[in-house]
Amino acid sequence: MTVLNVIVALVVAGLIAYYVTTINKVAGSYITIIATVAALVLFLVNGDRILANDAIGIISFTVTPLGWFFTVIMLVVYSMVSFFNPYWMKKLLYPASYNMLYLLSLAGTLGVFMADSFVVLFIFWELVVWSSLFIIPFGKSRNASVVYYSMSTFGSFTMLYAIFLLYAKYDSFIIKDVLAMAGNDPGVALAAFILIIIAGLVKLGIFPFHIWLPMAHGNAPDTFSPILSGGLVKLGAFAAILVSTLLPIYEAFDNQPKIFGVPILIYGLMVLGAISIVVGTLMAIAQEDAKRLLAYSSVANAGYILIGILMYNQMAMSGALVHIFAHAVATAAAFLAIAAVSYRTGTTKMSELGGMIHKMPITYIVYLIAIISMAGIPPMAGFISKWLIFQALANQGLFLIAAAMFFGSVGSFLYVFRPLSAVFLGQLKPQHKDVKEAPIGMVIPMVILSGISLFYGIFPISLIDYTAKIEKALGFENVVETSGLVIKGNNGDLHATLITAIFAFGFFIALAIFMIAPKSRKVDLMDTYTAGEFLYTPDLYHYSYSYYAPFERLYQKHPDIVAIYAGLVQRITDFGSFIRYIFFSKRPSTGIFWIVLTMILLMWGEKL
Amino acid sequence: MTITNFLVAFAIAFCGWALQTSVSGITRKTVARIQKRYGPVWFQNFRDIFKLFSKRAVTHGWVYDFGVMMALGGIIGTAMFTPVANIVAFRGYDNFFIFIYLFAVGMLGMAMSAVGSGNPLASIGVMRALTQMVGYEVPFMIIIIALINVESTSSISKLVDIQQASGWNILVMPIGTIVGFICLMGMLGKKPFDTYIAPAELASGPMVEYGGKQLGMLMIMHEVATFVEISLFVNLFLGGGVTIFDFLIKYFLVYTLTSYISNVLGRFKIDQVIKFYYKVPIVLALIQAAMLIIFGWGVR
């Protein structure tokens, strides 16, 4: 099988899934599982030596280590999430279209990652946008889809403009050649870089383009939110890496004034990344809906990824790549855990839940592992990436960016802990007394995702070595180094396996102390200290609404970016009605005026 | 990496616990004498811990127990990396970021266990503890990243070696040391930053439900955590120790100073904690970082 065959096969499978679903809903969703898992196995077995068949006319593919890395991340997310599809068939309004679009969007992402020329990249980029666009309104809101599409289109148009600009200049669509040539011409490089990176920023959800994430992630069907956050957002990171490494940015913008040795444009983009981290963190802390909370956390994490990419050295790039992987896996697991809770209870509002750990212990552990990775705590993969990015930041001395990053890093403890506390811990609500653990078909993929997070947190070396390979392919002079189980940093070494061993050692000491001491007596959750009051309603004895109220109050009156966009929308609407008033008026005099004017202009002819 | 390293590391963690439990006992005594009280004996904390282990306790479910074990395990693990004078268990791997993040495992475990008890007072306590963390961690990390930048190493034992060769960091970066000390007060939860325990408002916050062995383990965890935090400050700013006595004197002085300051101050409200940290220490931290990184003042 070649890449082209896989993509064609996925499109065909999508069409088959559509027709099968119209006959039998569940059977159709099984096709999505089979197709995605088969594609994943194929890519894992062949590795990055998989052939790219570039037979069909202008559509040509090439397999790079970078593309393969992204493809595998995407396939892992898609294949694991697809196990949830059968359970959602009854809930969706158009299950047949959902299954088809699910596979089409996957085909689109593969096309983007393997694209050889800009035209192919753009076509498949649009395929992803269009297929995901129609899935989002299957959830709670149509408006979310409109915002998502408007934002995406803005990015797509700037990219398209860059593509035509480069084609007009260099008469080629081949990504590698065109960008390398543009790199020698600072003016073109600047225009192309800004136009393409905007597409990346929009997709990643960097401030001020971040508003589509909470709307789309929060309102999409529960099974598609993990795809959006873990998968499609990462397309933006791919575009950003592509344009920054192939130019390459630090050589192309060498003539710009520098701040801390960073060209001013790049520093400005890093500041946008830093703002995204701060805004994402603060907004995530204030959310009441678990899915919107995770969506804002994706905004914050996109900031880390962008900063890692733009620092453009081996540690930071490796950190960004590992973070893309770690965050994709962790956020998918977290969204799936919330989806499982939503499947059993029918809500994702945190204040309507509580004590789910007593009914869904495995889902709880999955969520716990996911948040440990998202907060960057060992022994999970998220720690490795944060460590790498911090190394690079400390080395370059970008302390203002670092301050934002530390704020996001500590702030992430706050927002990831909130669903843990409000949804899974605390008092169980009486109406959830009969809730059961998620069905086995949901538990398996969630456990696999947790296992991946844990495995690469303990043994990150193979992952780091692959990022070194990607860096070599992208033309880095130095690549991140490892020896044995140790990652070599600029200012210190990281032995992830040792850290895990030490933690396990500490844990066993604690376990031993616990076992030696006398056994405890199990008591009910309501049998707690109440300062002498008698309480009988668990609902009222669960702290979950407006969790960080004292902290939220400090920034309650923050300026809202949505208001600026709303103002923009109003301007465009006004302009539209003005145009309509002038050109499409119902008054006959206006119509006759335009006809006469057109006639005069026509008769005047070329002399005008 | 041999078994000896692990034994040395465990010895550090154990002695650290014994040391801190004794030191806090001594401080209780001296504070009492200052306040014209008699005060408990210096080994009162040992008595309390062993007494608690002999009692039969209650449990509120498996996460209540598991969280306690995770908390103690994470903190013991962090203590095992701590360099004490010239005794370093894992030389070269005692990375600063490990201290911050492995420590967080312990904190997460405790938070999880406390909320798992089902008592809303515990949840409010955890909320306050996490909010406070946002306050003190950021200025502290800014100082450290400036330090790492100028010394090109994030290994604590190497930073200690550099200081012993060419002057302590308290002389090189006095503003940074002040910030570090204020943040240390926050980490230790000493007044005015004891908002998350606040016995009179929250019935001891996260600790409200604990008794018996779970409380005993959390007390051990508290002592070990204090040991890690004070050692971190001594190692980062006061040049660690050439000999173990040197280290112990500095350790004792820093802990006693925090306790005495704590005893003459009142308690902040939680929003005041955040406002304070984002007004004074963070500005000082940024000034110090700019002095080191941009102007190179104090770079050896």
Predicted local confidence at residue B102, as pLDDT:
85
- A571, pLDDT greater than 90: yes
The reply to whether residue B61 touches residue A357, judged by beta carbons under 8 angstroms, is yes
Could you tell me the strand order of the sheet in which A481-483 lies? A481-483, A486-488, A493-494
Q: Is A606 or B235 the better-scoring residue by pLDDT?
A: B235
Cβ atoms A518, B55 nearer than 8 A: yes
Asked if A508 reaches chain B (Cβ–Cβ under 8 Å), the answer is yes
Residues 6+ apart with CB under 8 A from A557: none
What is the ipTM for the molecules in this complex?
A: 0.92
> Which residue of B lies nearest to A550 if distances are taken between CA atoms?
B271
Domain-embedded: residue B90: yes
From B148's Cα to the closest Cα of chain A, the distance in A is: 6
pLDDT single digits (tens) B152-182: 888 888 888 888 888 888 888 889 999 999 9
Q: How many domains does chain B have?
A: 1
* Interchain pair B116, A357: CB under 8 A: yes
Instruction: Find the residue in A nearest to B52 (Cα).
Output: A517
Report the residue of chain A nearest B143, measured CA to CA. Answer: A399
Please count the CA atoms within 13 angstroms of the CA of A563 that sit on its side-chain side: 3
CB contact under 8 A, A391 and B108: no
**Cis, bond preceding A518 (omega within 30 deg of 0):** no
Nearest CA in chain A to B158: A492
A399 falls in which pLDDT band (50, 70, 90)? confident
Entry pTM:
0.92
| B300 occurs within a structural domain | no
A522 φ, ψ (degrees, to nearest 5): -80, 130
pLDDT at A54: 63
Q: Please indicate whether, in this complex, the C-beta atoms of B269 and A550 are within 8 angstroms of each other.
A: yes
| Residue A275 banded pLDDT, cuts 50, 70, 90 | very high
Q: From the CA of A342, how many Å to the nearest CA of chain B?
A: 21
Asked if A551 is an interface residue toward chain B (Cβ–Cβ < 8 A), one would say yes
**Domain of residue B98, residue span:** 3-295
Chain B CA closest to residue A547 = B127
Contact between A490 and B89 under an 8 Å Cβ cutoff? The reply is: no
**Which residue of B1, B104, B213 is in closest CB contact with A518?**
B213
| Residue of chain B with shortest Cα separation from A393 | B145
pLDDT, residue A605, reads 74
Which letter, b or e, does each residue of A393-415 get, where b requires 16 or more Cβ atoms within 10 Å of its Cβ? bbbbbbbbbbbbbbbbbbbbbbb
Find out whether the peptide bond into A379 is cis, omega within 30 degrees of 0. Answer: yes
Nearest to A503 among B13, B102, B153 (CB): B102
Distance from CA of B31 to the nearest CA of A (A): 30
Span A442-495, pLDDT tens digits: 899 999 999 999 999 898 888 888 988 888 888 888 888 887 788 887 778 888
Polymer length of chain B = 300
Query: Does residue A515 sit at the B interface (CB-CB below 8 Å)?
Result: no
Set of chain B residues whose Cβ sits within 8 Å of the Cβ of A508: 73
| C-alpha to C-alpha distances, B210 to A259, A517, B66, nearest whole angstrom | 52, 15, 14
CA-based nearest distance A410→chain B, Å: 6
Contact A30, A86 (CB under 8 A): yes
Please report which confidence band the pLDDT of residue A59 belongs to, taking 50, 70 and 90 as the band edges.
confident
Count of residues making up chain A: 608
CA-nearest residue of chain B to A523? B60
Determine the residue among A385, A393, A399 to mutate to test chain B binding: the one whose Cβ has the most chain B Cβ atoms within 10 Å. Answer: A399
Give contacts of B145 with chain A, Cβ < 8 Å.
390, 393-394, 399, 402, 406
Rounded to a whole number, what is the distance in Å from the CA of A263 to chain B's nearest CA? 16
DSSP, collapsed to helix, strand or coil, labels residue A61 as strand
Q: Which spans in A427-495 are helix H?
A: 440-458, 461-474
Contacts of B107 in chain A (CB under 8 A): 413
Q: Which of A 183-242 lie inside 8 A of B, CB atoms?
A: none
The Cα–Cα gap between A32 and A14 comes to 8
Q: How confident is the model at residue A55 (pLDDT cuts 50, 70, 90)?
A: low
Of chain A residues 520-549, which have a CB less than 8 A from chain B? Answer: 520-523, 525-529, 531, 541-544, 547-548
Confidence of residue A558 (pLDDT cuts 50, 70, 90): confident
Contacts B65 to A, Cβ<8 Å: 514, 520
Query: CB distance B138–A406 less than 8 Å?
Result: yes
Q: Backbone phi, then psi, for A595, in 5-degree steps?
A: -65, -45
Residue A347 tokens, joined: 């809500």
What is the β-pairing status of strands A486-488 and A493-494? antiparallel
Full 3-state SS string of A529-560: CCCCCCCCCHHHHCCCCCCCHHHHHHCCCCCC
pLDDT category at A428 given cuts 50, 70, 90 is confident
The chain B residue lying nearest A281, using CA atoms, is B134
Name chain A contacts of B155, Cβ cutoff 8 Å: 491-492
Least confident of A69-73, A415-419, A536-540: A536-540
Per-residue pLDDT of B262-286, as tens digits, reads 988 888 888 889 999 998 899 999 9
- Say what the alpha-carbon torsion angle A7, A11, A14, A18 is, to the nearest 10 degrees: 180
**Closest approach of chain B CAs to the CA of A145, in angstroms?**
35
Quote the pLDDT of residue A56: 67
Cβ contact A372–B112 (<8 Å): no
Report CB contact under 8 Å: B138, A378: no
- Residue A140 is predicted with a pLDDT of 74
Give a yes or no: residue B194 inside a domain.
yes
- The yes-or-no verdict on residue A51 having pLDDT over 70 is yes
Q: Is A256 helix (H, G, I), strand (E, B) or coil?
A: coil
Mean pLDDT over each residue of chain A, to the nearest integer:
87
- Residue predicted with more confidence, A147 or B204: A147
Contact flag B55-A554 (C-beta cutoff 8 Å): no
Mean pLDDT for A85-101 is 87
| C-beta atoms surrounding A126 within 10 Å | 18
Q: What is the mean pLDDT of residues A520-535?
A: 81
Write out pLDDT tens, residues B188-243.
888 888 888 877 777 777 888 888 888 999 999 999 999 999 999 999 888 888 88
When pLDDT is cut at 50, 70 and 90, the band that residue A607 belongs to is low
* A486: closest CA of chain B, how far (Å): 9
Tell if the CB–CB gap between B108 and A489 is shorter than 8 Å: no
Residue A49 DSSP one-character state: G
pLDDT (average), residues B243-264: 90
pLDDT of residue A608: 55
Residue B250 lies in a domain: yes
